[in-house]
A and B are shown apart, each in its own frame.
Chain A
Amino acid sequence: MSTTTYREAARAAMRRALEDDPRVFLMGEDVGRYGGAFAVSRGLLEVFGPERIRDTPLSESAFVGAGIGAALGGMRPIVEVMTVNFSLLAMDQIVNNAATLRHMSGGQLSVPVLIRMATGAGKQIAAQHSHSWENWYASVPGLKVLAAGSVQDAHDMVLAGLADPDPVVLFETMALYNLEGELDTSVDPEGVWRAAVRRAGRDVSLISYGSSMPKTLEAAERLAAEGVDAEVLDLRCLRPLDDAAIVATVERTHRAVIVDEGWRTGSLAGEVSARIMEGAFYALDAPVERVCTAEVPIPYAKHLEDAALPSVDGIVAAARRALAREP
């Protein structure tokens, strides 16, 4: 157990995978000489050389597709798409090739590619660079989708994604790369496929993932100071969703607040809400609350961006609303 950052945890996992398996290689824009747009891969080029740490042209479709092809050809590629925003240029390859090839080939093919991308807002980089499209990828059969909301998961999800025989889309949160936390490298990474209770509580369930995890945990602490015992569930795996854990937490607390940095319309929060309705309707003492991003393109100005995104205040307020409702 040691204290490290989210960024360094992801790097440590990649380094370990590169050391352990000669089929593993990393490719993406500026992952080599530049050291990674968010410095996640800094230093790897010097250790593993340009054959395994490959700087790509700005050709998202080609290099993501090449990762899929290399996976078909026997490699274990890590494809870094700088951010989810640019992954839209590779959507065809991810949705039409990576996700379909196994089923569409009658089970002949497997695509063991790990596609990492940074997601989320909060860095004042305006509408085109602040998207959260976890919901889109999580809606596609054939993909597995992970979202790292802790330092430990930033590490374990790289290893779990690489060990898996299917295409895995791993979301790292842009605003969390400097997050500090404990890392235990002896943890079995397989745990990441299930949701995790980050804080046990009895009064209300705060359900979140990835980008919004630190805010959600902070909101739980604020609520605790007010005498409200909130449970915090980190979904971790967005496809497949851990239905059992979602139902279980609602059955314990009878009230749910879902925190999701995506837009409310068509959001993962909507999906989780529906699953609560399907699986735990009679356990609910109040309507499900959702805390999502305001339905505007994310603005540049700090005060406007803050107003658009889920906030600790907003989560606390939503929890209070849920608690105020009589069964």
Chain B
Amino acid sequence: MSTIARERGRHLLREMLRIRRLEERSAELYGQGKIRGFLHLYVGEEAVAVGAMQALGPEDVVVATYREHGQALARGMDPGAVMAEMYGKVTGCSKGRGGSMHLFSHALRFYGGSGIVAGGLPLAVGLALAAKMLGERRVTACFFGDGATDEGEFHESLNLAALWALPVLFLCENNRYAMGTALHRHAANPDLRQLPAAYGVVAEKVDGMDVLAVERAVRHAAEEVREQGTPRFLELETYRFRAHSMFDAELYRDEAEVRAEQARDPITLFSERLRAQGLLDDDALAAIEREVEEELARAVAFAEQSPWEPVEELATDVVTREVGR
């Protein structure tokens, strides 16, 4: 195995671990009352965000959901800005006004962070329309869950993107639950790939627990979107290991099911794969864990030490320009 493959593999592992450890720490900080509101953790789904972001360039656009810490980190958002946002501090990526569900970075073309299921899909279609009309060859990658496929906005958006041949990459993170309602209980047709097919959008199913498979599929699909300017759809099969949010007693699924799914833990699977290929040993893993822990500690310290936005600024930026004054 070449050095490039070794570094590449460790990079992917590190990226997934950055998300996993941030999520675990966030849950602890929630317990301590440092983070409030809704907190939706991405534990178990890391391979999706990490794999997908490898395949997107800085010119591309990302629209995500309320479970988007993973996408934000993988996109390159500073973990301090993410943590400070969850703390509600002014140094947060959205000045503490959005919280966990509303991470934004205009510079990274990261457009949230939407709290309404499927609400980001029409935005993504519009961002892609703008790119097309301006002659910019960017891909708009739009993440959403299996629950979103039940929403009218999902169908409206697929139809519009297909009808107008817009460069949208629809990335369906199928974690098998719409909040607490299992896929077969919320979707008349649980084979989600058939939905985009109805609109003539090419769709593919991908093992969302395999970071390399995700990267490969997203790279291929993004290239097609970029070359042909038309939408593509990927269903990324994954699983949420933790509760939907911090207000979820998980009455709707068995512990045995969760345990069984944890055998597919994307981080464990990928670490074992690297080890089997001689690309990772205990020392290397410990070094990565240490790096991740140090970065996270800095992020938490940054959030802790950051100031709150002065209350006097409450009403700033409601609008861009005041009128009628």
Contact = CB atoms under 8 A, between A and B. Distances in A.
Contact of A141 (B92, B125, B318, B324): B318
Contacts of B104: 101, 104-106, 108-109
B321 A165 contact: yes
Interface string A109-148: 1100000000000000000000000000000011010000
A102 B318 CA distance: 6
Interface stretch (B33-41, B71-79, B149-157, B239-247): B149-157
A165 B122 contact: no
B160 A59 contact: yes
Nearest to B142: A69
A193 to B, nearest CB: 4
B124 interface: yes
B324 A75 contact: no
B320 interface: yes
Q: How large is the interface on B (under 10, 10 to 19, 20 to 34, 35 or more residues)?
A: 35 or more
Interface stretch (A89-97, A180-188, A216-224, A266-274): A89-97
A61 B152 contact: yes
A194 B324 contact: yes
Interface residues of A, number: 47
A106 B98 contact: yes
A101 B98 CA distance: 9
Given A70-B133, A93-B119, A237-B324, A103 B126 contact: no
A284 interface: no
B286 interface: no
20 contacts: A61-B153, A65-B153, A69-B122, A69-B123, A73-B127, A73-B131, A74-B130, A92-B153, A96-B116, A101-B104, A104-B112, A105-B104, A106-B93, A106-B95, A106-B97, A107-B316, A109-B106, A144-B319, A237-B324, A240-B324
Interface of A: 25, 51, 54, 56-57, 59, 61-75, 77, 92-93, 96-97, 101-110, 141-142, 144, 164-166, 193-194, 237, 240, 242
Given A59-B159, A96-B115, A142-B318, 17 more contacts: A59-B156, A62-B121, A62-B153, A63-B160, A64-B122, A71-B130, A75-B130, A97-B114, A102-B319, A102-B320, A103-B97, A104-B112, A105-B102, A106-B317, A109-B111, A144-B323, A166-B319
